[in-house]
């Protein structure tokens, strides 16, 4: 009888060990499955602004606010998302509301984003609320010797050390992200495929305005959460504006 009990105990122990080995055979695969299940939330409330859609969501049993580019959403929707940029004490002018903590999300989808083509991580593109123009859509005549966007990119190191003025057409505006307006300008010129200059400013402009900004370049600026700029003009001063 004792021999039979020992045999049964051995079989149970062997089965447990074998099961454990199978479950932990591929830890990378287990980690991938866990990651695939992350970054998903359910919408409980929707507040629409003109530029952003503000979502009160439930994620991992926690309630939080999320902001995405303006789009349709309703309570009960479940979305997957990619990178999220946390901001504290953020005041939205468009809905006149201050959020203690809010997360700006680059992209949301009702299907896992891993099944889609990856998108470049660029803050204005990710948080765009107004129509962007392609380089071919901008034609701006400039005087001889007037600085162009292509020259700014080609001589970026030089312009990071000195203040300069640049004139262009506004093709995209993201209002009050991290307490600043994010403005894209183009003038129809390009350097190695770079034709769109991003400027952060407190000035208020609209898509289609012809503007002149003054400032210095910041090179290789990393805002975190995957948002990186090779070239950006920070805290630009608006010199002139011609409304479209």
Tokens of 180: 């600043």
Quote the pLDDT of residue 232: 93
Q: At residue 147, does pLDDT exceed 60?
A: yes
Q: What is the pLDDT of residues 52-109, one digit of tens each?
A: 899 999 988 789 999 888 889 999 999 998 777 777 888 888 888 999 988 888 788 8
Q: Please state the separation of Cα 145 from the chain's center in Å.
A: 36
Tokens of 189: 């010129």
- Which of left, alpha, beta for 235 (phi over 0: left; psi -120 to 50: alpha)? left
User: Across the strands, what pairs with 174?
Assistant: 182
pLDDT band of 133, cuts 50, 70, 90:
very low
How far apart are the C-alpha atoms of 216 and 237, rounded to whole Å? 10
Tell me the pTM.
0.52
> Mapped to the 3 state alphabet, what secondary structure does the chain carry?
CHHHHHHHHHHHHHHHHHHHHHHCCCHHHHHHHHHHCCCEEEEEEEEECCCEEEEEEEECCEEEEEEEECCCCCCCCEEEECCEEEEEEEEECCCCEEEEEEEEECCEECCCHHHCCCCCCCHHHHCCCCCCCCHHHCCCCCCCCCCCHHHHHHCHHHHCCCCEEEEEEEEEEEEEECCEEEEEEECCCCECCECCEEEEECCCCCCCCEEEEEECEEEEEEEECCEEEEEEECCCEEEEEECC
pLDDT band of 224, cuts 50, 70, 90:
low
Q: Centre a 10 Å sphere on the Cβ of residue 168 and count the other Cβ atoms it contains.
A: 28
How far apart are the C-alpha atoms of 36 and 192, rounded to whole Å? 36
Quote the pLDDT of residue 226: 58
Q: What is the pLDDT of residues 184-202, one digit of tens each?
A: 999 988 888 888 999 999 9
Check: CB of residue 168 under 8 Å from CB of residue 240. no
Q: At residue 12, does pLDDT exceed 70?
A: no
Q: What is the pLDDT of residues 99-131, one digit of tens each?
A: 998 888 878 888 887 654 443 334 444 333 333
User: Across the strands, what pairs with 166?
Assistant: 213
């Amino acid at each position: 009888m004792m021999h039979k009990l020992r045999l049964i105990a051995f079989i149970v122990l062997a089965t447990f060990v074998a099961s454990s080995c199978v479950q932990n055979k591929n830890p990378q695969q287990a980690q991938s499955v866990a990651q695939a299940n992350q970054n998903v939330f359910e919408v409980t409330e929707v507040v629409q602004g003109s530029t952003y859609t503000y979502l009160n969501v439930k994620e991992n049993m926690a309630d939080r606010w999320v902001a995405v580019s303006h789009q349709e959403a309703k309570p009960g929707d479940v979305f997957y998302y990619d990178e999220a940029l946390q901001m504290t004490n953020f005041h939205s002018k468009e809905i006149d509301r201050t959020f203690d903590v809010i997360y700006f999300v680059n992209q949301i989808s009702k299907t896992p984003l891993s099944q889609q083509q990856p998108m470049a991580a660029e803050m204005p593109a990710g948080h765009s609320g107004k129509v962007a123009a392609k380089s071919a859509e901008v034609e701006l005549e400039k005087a001889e010797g007037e600085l162009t966007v292509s020259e700014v990119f080609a001589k970026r190191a030089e312009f990071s050390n000195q203040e300069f003025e640049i004139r262009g057409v506004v093709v995209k505006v993201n209002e009050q992200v991290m307490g600043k307006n994010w403005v894209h300008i183009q003038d129809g010129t390009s350097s190695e495929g770079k034709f769109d200059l991003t400027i952060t400013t407190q000035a208020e402009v609209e898509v289609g305005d012809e503007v002149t900004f003054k400032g210095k370049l910041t090179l290789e600026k990393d805002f975190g959460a995957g948002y990186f700029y090779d070239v950006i003009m920070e805290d630009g001063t608006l010199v002139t504006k011609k409304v479209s």
